[in-house]
Structure 1
Amino acid sequence: MKLEKQEYCIKGLKYTIRSAEESDAAVLAKLRVLIDGETEYMDREAGEGLLDENDFKQLIMKDTRENNHLFLVALVNETPIGFSRCEGSPLKRMAHKVMFGVCVQKKYWGHQIGRNLLSRSMNWADANGIKKVELGVLETNRRGILLYMDHGFKVEGVLRQDKLLSDGNYYDTIIMGRIPSLK
């Protein structure tokens, strides 16, 4: 599904959020590797689970075509610096919900880009009859957890010792869900 672009200016940074376009694919492929290497909040290390330009084009086409998918990009000077996805299921028993994920290049943290990607996605979900949004967040990502709670997410469970990080320790993944009627 596609959304119209919206412009923001937060703490002196001008940026735009809009639906992903096929022409974004090459930059998104590089951006994902960069972001994966900047923080341990992501599931992957830099270069793991690599998606190339063609993979991103396929995702963007599918997400544009499907009613229960949404792929948004945040751009500074027309260059993607972050993105979010809501991915629904084609299975009837799970078609009412989507999985949400978001990432923003670290040098742009603090400008509410993640918050605005999340807000746009939740507004889309509510307007399109999505009954539940699910996500997983690393236990150490306190800012992320608070952001999700601010948007009506509740903790639904914990995956114990789910991720092995660079310090050699295992960390939990917090499973959160948002059901609009229970906000």
Structure 2
Amino acid sequence: METSERPTFETEAGEEIYRYVERHGTAARHRVREVTSLDPDEFQDALSELKERGYLEDDGGTLQIALDVGSVEAYSTDDLEYVIRPAGQSDFDGLIDTIRDVTAEDTYIVAESIAEQLLYEDAVNRHNAAESRVFFVATVDGEVVGWVHLDLPQLDKLQSTAQLTVGVRRDYQRRGIGGKLVDRALGWAEANGYRKVYNSVPITNDEAIAFLESRGWETEGVRKEHYTIGDEFVDEVMLAYAF
């Protein structure tokens, strides 16, 4: 299922199954049937329809939403091999740890809020009539070392713009991983019809601003004293990349 496609349902049973799995990221098949209180035949028919329409995947009895966000890409430098791929629910803990590693050193309020949202919702990817989000991760030997995230509003008037966050663990910075992550997210956004992507950071985060500007992002606005960091009011810089 494409993230630009809003899920629609033929039956109430199908909608109930999808919404439970979507809210929880993944769910055991037998647990979904218990919670929805559907009889076995009704449950099987509704689940089969959701799988046929590309809404859900069944991985050995574990259900998860099916989002088509691309393939696995491998990269190598002189001393490092890493992979960039779509994130799944199994990356949850690694994502949280990586975001916290990045925000512990640099002030990145939007990324901090994403971590809190992940913890609250206990789901990596979301896709419903109100919101949609996807993550790509960079991994080294299977461990998450970086992320890029796209928040994709489903409101018609906002569907052509997206909000991006990106970060790489301190031990893996300055190796080109961040640039590859941004390229992956922008490539996906352009291919899916988005016309502009935003990233907002405190004006004190000089490194993040310089990184984005070097890749063609432009400052589109400044919100005065938008953040309270310590005892100081700090401006927010809104950077944008237009296709």
TM-score, with length taken from structure 2: 0.63
Q: Is the contact made by 1:17 and 1:75 (CA closer than 8 Å) also made in structure 2? A: yes
CA spacing shift, 1:42–1:11, aligned 2, 3 Å: farther
Indicate the residue corresponding to 1:7 in structure 2.
Answer: 74
Contact preservation (8 Å) 2:111, 2:165: no
What corresponds to 2:234 in structure 1?
171
Q: Quick one: which amino acid aligns to residue 59 of structure 1?
A: V
One-letter code aligned to 2:183? S
- Shift in Å, 1:130: 0.6
Cross-structure match for 2:175 = 111
- Equivalences, count: 175
Show CA shifts across 1:68-105 (max 9, x none): 74310011111011111111111000011110111211
The answer to whether the aligner puts 1:59 opposite 2:59 as a matched pair is: no
Q: Select 1:18's aligned residue among 75, 78, 85.
A: 85
How many angstroms apart in 1 are the aligned matches of 2:111 and 2:192? Answer: 30
Is the contact between residue 222 and residue 235 of structure 2 (CA under 8 Å) also seen in structure 1? yes
Which structure's relative contact order is higher, taking Cα pairs within 8 Å and 6+ residues apart? 1
Amino acid at match of 1:12: D
CA contact (8 A) 2:72 2:84 kept: yes
* Distance in 2 (alpha carbons) for counterparts of 1:67 and 1:90: 5
Q: 1:8-87, aligned counterparts within 5 Å? A: 8-10=75-77, 12-43=79-110, 49=116, 51-52=118-119, 55-56=121-122, 58-60=123-125, 62=126, 69-87=133-151
Unaligned runs of 5+ residues in structure 2 are 1-67
2: distance between equivalents of 1:121 and 1:24? 17
Amino acid at match of 2:81: K
Q: In the alignment, is the contact (CA less than 8 A) between 2:201 and 2:209 conserved in 1?
A: yes
Q: Write the distance in 1 (CA, Å) between the matches of 2:157 and 2:186.
A: 21
The SS at the match of 1:16 is: strand
1:162 and 2:221 are equivalent in the alignment: no
Conservation of the 8 A alpha-carbon contact between 1:136 and 1:174? yes
**1:50: Cα distance to partner?**
6.4
Matched to 1:111, the amino acid is R
Rounded to whole Å, the distance in 1 between the matches of 2:95 and 2:183 is 21
Identity of aligned residues (%): 24
Shift of 1:140: 2.7
Q: TM-score, normalised on structure 1? A: 0.81
Deviation string, structure 1 residues 137-164 (Cα, Å, up to 9, x no partner)? 2223333223322333221110122233
Q: Is residue 120 from structure 1 mapped to residue 184 from structure 2 by the alignment?
A: yes
Bigger CA radius of gyration: 2
Q: What RMSD in Å do the two structures reach over aligned CA positions?
A: 2.9
